[in-house]
Amino acid sequence: MKKSINILFFLAIAAGLVGCNNGNDRKSGKGQGGLATNAAERVYVAPGEHDEYYAFMSGGFSGQLSVYGLPSGRMLKVLPVFSQNPENGYGYSEETKPMLNTSYGFVPWDDSHHPDISQTNGELDGRWIFINGNNTPRIARIDLKNFATEEIIEIPNSAGNHSSSFITENTEYVVAGTRFSVPIPQKDMPINEYKGNFKGSLTFISVDQETGRMGIKFQLIMPGFNYDLSHPGRDKSHGWFFFTTYNTEEAHSLLEVNASQNDKDFIAAINWKVIEEYVNNGGGKMVPANYAHNVMDENTHMATSTMLKEVLTVNPLDVPGAVYFLPTPKSPHGCDVDPTGEYIIGNGKLSADLTVHSFTKMLDAIKNKKFDGEAYGIPILNFEDILAGVVKQPGLGPLHTEFDEKGNAYTTFFISSEVVKWKVGTWEVLDRQPVFYSVGHGMIPGGNSRKPFGKYFVALNKITKDRYLPTGPELTQSAQLFDISGDKMELLLDFPTIGEPHYAAAIPAELIKNNSRKIYKLAENKHPYAAHSDGDTKVVRDGKEVHVYMNMIRSHFNPDNIEGVKVGDKVFFHITNLEQDFDVPHGFAVIGANNAELLIVPGKTETLVWEPKQVGVWPFYCTDFCSALHQEMQGYVRVSPADSDIELSWSLGED
Amino acid sequence: MKKAGIIMIVGSLLLLGLFKFPLWNIMLGAPQYPDPLGMNIYIQGIEGVEEFDIQNIDGLNHYIGMKTIPKVEEMWEFEVFPMVIGIMVALGVIIGLLGFFGKVSYKWFLGWFVLMSILGIMGMYDFNLWLIEYGTDLDPKAIMKLENLDGTPMTYKPPLLGYQKMLNFDVDSWPAAGAYMIFVGMLLTVVAFFVGKSESKKAS
């Protein structure tokens, strides 16, 4: 009973604060915003013109990564990452199935959260974008030349991979923290023995600067709190990483109440350079593990999945000076670092204030050993000693803060449904704008780097309600674009998004578009089943398996007549697109296939498995309108009874 | 005739540019090809402007039954033209040198120019014959057999010089860097003739 009273009390307070804060600012009626100005002109990208920025928005519970143009808000592409995508066969084709392999077997879905673009010297470089799978802990690397997922690494000893995937300022590491603490190693034990027994892992994954290949360098095994979000230090604080925590109460049930009791939780400050050195000198403990590392080869066009069997763990108590706790009020959510690296913002989601820690003061407090106790042996710094300032009552439910290049910060407020602009250093509120509704993350292109491009702010809203024509009980999520180049933020545009975009990352189009691949060169195609020319086409039987070496070009398949397949066979269509022209993919679909289609881009080879179950003559065809003769791009497979003695034969253009 | 000899030598040497730069360029643009496809015609063969342009032009041409663009070994011209140009350069340099030392008359310069002009016209004539054959000798089993308004079968000869609309394609056929070098080179040999003439008059 006491608990429910607490909840009611909290909601009452929340409602009151919303009223107080916004009574004067909220404009009446719907359709407010930019229409009074020339907003339409500012988001209009004329037919044939290109947007100024690429925005990569997490696909949330779609598991994918969506690509938008800004300022138009036009969706350009959905890149499949953690979920199967029947539209192009990702996760269905034999080549891509290994990408979704995990220690739990084939996992065809995930919940993707926080994309982060690679950096050099703290500036966006447009090589790769990383994103985390939250549910079955994984980190993916998407190549921004190919716009394709090239690598996925599973994170062992993690559960709810949420404080991920954030990169250090030279892309030395992509970092993945666990939201749910769990027994490490996993074991059968009572849940109510959580406290003191469960642990949280923070994983530092090194990135090869040439190939982008990821490998777990070490896992820091921390106390059993919930590691919610994180960001790297940058510039002066490069070498450190900051994680917000909640549930420092270590509750295991009814967390909405039981994990909201402590007046302050922590931001964990991790000196990864010290740990890196410790590990490079042989420190840490290699422990058994089981996790998948999946890599797509750009030349064979095939993914391989390797199970890795051990991981290097580090006990923070073994590395002096590696970890400190910064007390931060009320279950902080977002953990954001300003472009100079001096200020670490804890967005205390149950607090009315924003807490800003000073990196310089933190170093000073550490140097002078001004500690205020410890937690599981990790020193806790004194709140007052490290405090840079407080943004007083800017709104209710602060979640995330982004920065522009002019020394301003933009914080999203979920409960009061607004974005608040404030001055870094004076902590003065400069402007506030309502959002529709209940914003989660906000995003400024480069807002998580030393060099933000503070022209636009995108609010990624959790609730849509009446913003678009209704589409039944399930609505899309809604993004809102603000112009932040002036003193006041101006709402320019609403646009719908896929899944539930959590974080997003955007980059000037110039840094990517000229590198974007047009075709894969056939000459570089090393797929073992590729049919580079008509002379390479054939059909080969290997027991019950039939391998079709097929190719395609406008507008035919070779071969397009196949006989000798039998019921009970497993037919592998290995299809090579011989086109070497931009934007001429061909599709492949065959009747009754239990998987999906293939969409094969020029120069690639992909494989679809088909298991015919009925005798007959069955068609296949090209699904992607490729030429004036696209409708003619079709063929037949004759399927005979299992005991038939018809030999395999194949042809193209024979009578 | 020292000045005239030098101009004659420089003029003939400019023809060497043909071994490095294309003689002619044909570009094919269409709504679906905002970046036009193109071929560069060299005296030693035909190359795509971009890596896969030839393959893609052939791919499109197969709809209307055109033959594929000839490879080096498929046309005698690609063997003979470089030899002719090489010989003419050598001849021009020799005449220029002899002129420089006063061993031959400036009239030889004009003689070289006339010979080169005849060869050039023959070359253009041959090139045009090839364009006609390429554009009209169509596969009877072509996918698309189009007719002109008067009922005659449509043919696809690209223009020898200039712009033409062919089906959905805008075709531009213009001399390229190599042709301009020949043009300048040949012009110089004419200049050499006149300079030689005036130098001879002064000397006499």
Chain segment B58-82, per-residue pLDDT in tens: 999 989 999 999 999 999 999 999 9
pLDDT for A25 equals 44
How far is Cα A460 from Cα A480, in angstroms, rounded to an integer?
7
ipTM comes to: 0.86
Return the closest-CA partner of residue A596 out of A44, A82, A90.
A90
> For residues B68, B69, B75 and B78, what is the CA-based torsion angle, rounded to 10 degrees?
-160
Q: What are phi and psi of B199, to 5 degrees?
A: -65, -40
Spans of chain A, pLDDT less than 50: 1-31, 34
Whether the CB-CB separation of A630 and A621 falls below 8 Å is answered with no
Q: What is the model's pLDDT at position A26?
A: 44
Give pLDDT, residue B204: 67
pLDDT tens-place string over residues B143-186: 888 888 898 888 898 888 999 998 889 999 999 999 999 999 99
Helices first, then strands: H and E counts in chain A: 6, 45
Q: A55 CB contacts (<8 Å, ≥6 apart)? A: A67, A68, A69, A70, A443, A445, A458, A504, A505, A506
CA dist., res. A90 & res. A106, Å (int): 13
Burial class of B131 by CB neighbour count within 10 A (0 to 12, 13 to 18, 19+): middle
**Alpha helices by DSSP H, A333-405:** 359-367, 383-386
Residue of chain B whose Cα is closest to the Cα of A519? B52
The partner residue sitting opposite B59, judged by closest CB among A519, A554, A628, is A554
Nearest Cα neighbor of A323 from A403, A220, A409 is: A220
Alpha carbon distance A402, A345 (integer Å): 10
Q: Where in chain A is the domain with CATH 2.130.10.10?
A: 33-515
Q: Identify the closest residue of chain B to A518 by CA–CA distance.
A: B52
Using a CB-CB cut-off of 8 Å, the residues of chain A touching B144 are 628
Helix (H) or strand (E) holding A272: helix A272-280
Q: How far apart are CA A478 and CA A457, in angstroms?
A: 14
- CATH 2.60.40.420 range(s) for chain A read 522-651
For chain A, the distance separating the N- and C-terminal CA atoms, rounded to the nearest angstrom, is 83
Residue A272 backbone dihedrals phi, psi, to 5 degrees = -70, -25
Cis peptide before A437 (omega within 30 of 0): yes
Residue A474 vs residues A465, A466, A477, A496: alpha-carbon distances, Å:
10, 12, 10, 13
For A553, the closest chain B residue by CA position comes to B59
Nearest to A329 by CA among A258, A265, A405: A265
Q: Does domain A522-651 have CATH number 2.60.40.420?
A: yes
CA distance A426 to A408: 10
- Interacting residues of A248 by C-beta distance below 8 A, sequence separation 6+: A225, A262, A265, A266, A375
Find tokens 């998987």 and name the residue.
Answer: A595
Cα distance between the two ends of chain B: 12
- C-beta atoms of B51 and A581 within 8 A: no
3 state SS of A511: helix
- The reply to whether residue A519 touches residue B56, judged by beta carbons under 8 angstroms, is no
Count the helices and strands in chain B (H runs, E runs): 5, 5
Are the beta carbons of A582 and B35 separated by less than 8 Å? yes
Sheet holding A504-508, edge to edge: A74-79, A65-70, A53-58, A504-508
Interface residues from chain A to B (CB-CB < 8 Å): 519, 553-554, 579-582, 627-629
Region for A247 from its dihedrals, namely left if φ exceeds 0, alpha if ψ lies in -120 to 50, beta otherwise: left
CA distance A389 to A210: 41
Query: Which one-letter amino acid corresponds to residue A5?
Result: I
Six token digits for residue A60: 């949330």
CATH topology of domain A33-515: Methylamine Dehydrogenase; Chain H (2.130.10)
| Contact residues on chain B for A629, CB-CB shorter than 8 A | 63, 143
DSSP 3-state of A461: strand
Q: Which residue out of B49, B53, B56 would a mutagenesis test of the A interface target, given it has the greatest number of A Cβ atoms within 10 Å?
A: B56
Interface membership of B139 toward A (CB under 8 Å): no
**How far apart, in whole angstroms, are the C-alpha atoms of residue A8 and residue A547?**
65
d(CA A177, CA A240): 14
State whether residue B68 sits within 8 Å of chain A by CB: no
Query: Measured between beta carbons, which residues in chain A are less than 8 angstroms from residue B59?
Result: 553-554, 579, 581
Which residues pair with residue A85 across a beta bridge?
A90
CA distance linking residue B156 with residue B145, whole number of Å: 11
Average pLDDT rounded to a whole number, residues B35-50: 96
Give A227's strand partners. A245
- Transcribe A130-162 into DSSP letters: EEEETTTTEEEEEETTTTEEEEEEE-TT-SS--
State the burial class of residue A323 (Cβ atoms within 10 Å of its Cβ: 0-12, 13-18, 19+): buried
What one-letter code names the amino acid at A171? T
The partner residue sitting opposite A581, judged by closest CB among B52, B63, B143, is: B52
- Asked if B63 and A580 come within 8 Å (Cβ–Cβ), the reply is no
Joined together, the tokens standing for residue A289 give: 């593990």
For chain B, give the percent of residues with pLDDT over 90: 81
Q: B60 to chain A, minimum CA–CA distance in Å?
A: 9
Query: d(Cα B185, Cα B190) in Å, to the nearest integer?
Result: 9
**Eight-class DSSP state of A467:** S
* C-alpha torsion sign, points A442, A231, A243, A201: positive
Closest Cα partner for A99 from A28, A142, A162, A149? A149
Amino acid in the structure at residue A197: N
Element (H, E) at B92: helix B77-100
Which among B54, B55, B146 is the top mutation candidate for probing chain A, defined by the most A β-carbons within 10 Å of its own β-carbon? B55
Find the residue in A nearest to B62 (Cα): A554
Q: What is the pLDDT of residues A220-260, one digit of tens each?
A: 999 999 999 999 999 999 999 999 999 999 999 999 998 88
DSSP type of residue A368? T
Residue B45 belongs to what H/E stretch?
Answer: strand B45-48
CA distances from A232 to A71, A273, A489, A536 (A): 28, 12, 27, 51
- Distance to chain A for B35, nearest Cα, Å: 10
Q: Return the residue matching tokens 């806790």.
A: A380
Is residue B141 less than 8 Å (CB to CB) from chain A?
A: no
**Are A608 and A573 within 8 A, CB to CB?**
yes
The pLDDT value recorded for residue A237 is 98
Burial (0-12, 13-18, 19+ Cβ within 10 Å), A233: buried
Q: Is A628 close to B63, i.e. CB distance below 8 A?
A: yes
Distance CA B28, CA B64 (A): 15
Q: How far apart are CA A246 and CA A264, in angstroms?
A: 9
**Is B51 in Cβ contact with A580 (below 8 Å)?**
yes
Contact A581 B56 (CB under 8 A): yes
CA-nearest residue of chain B to A603? B52
Residue B168 at interface with chain A, using a CB cutoff of 8 Å = no
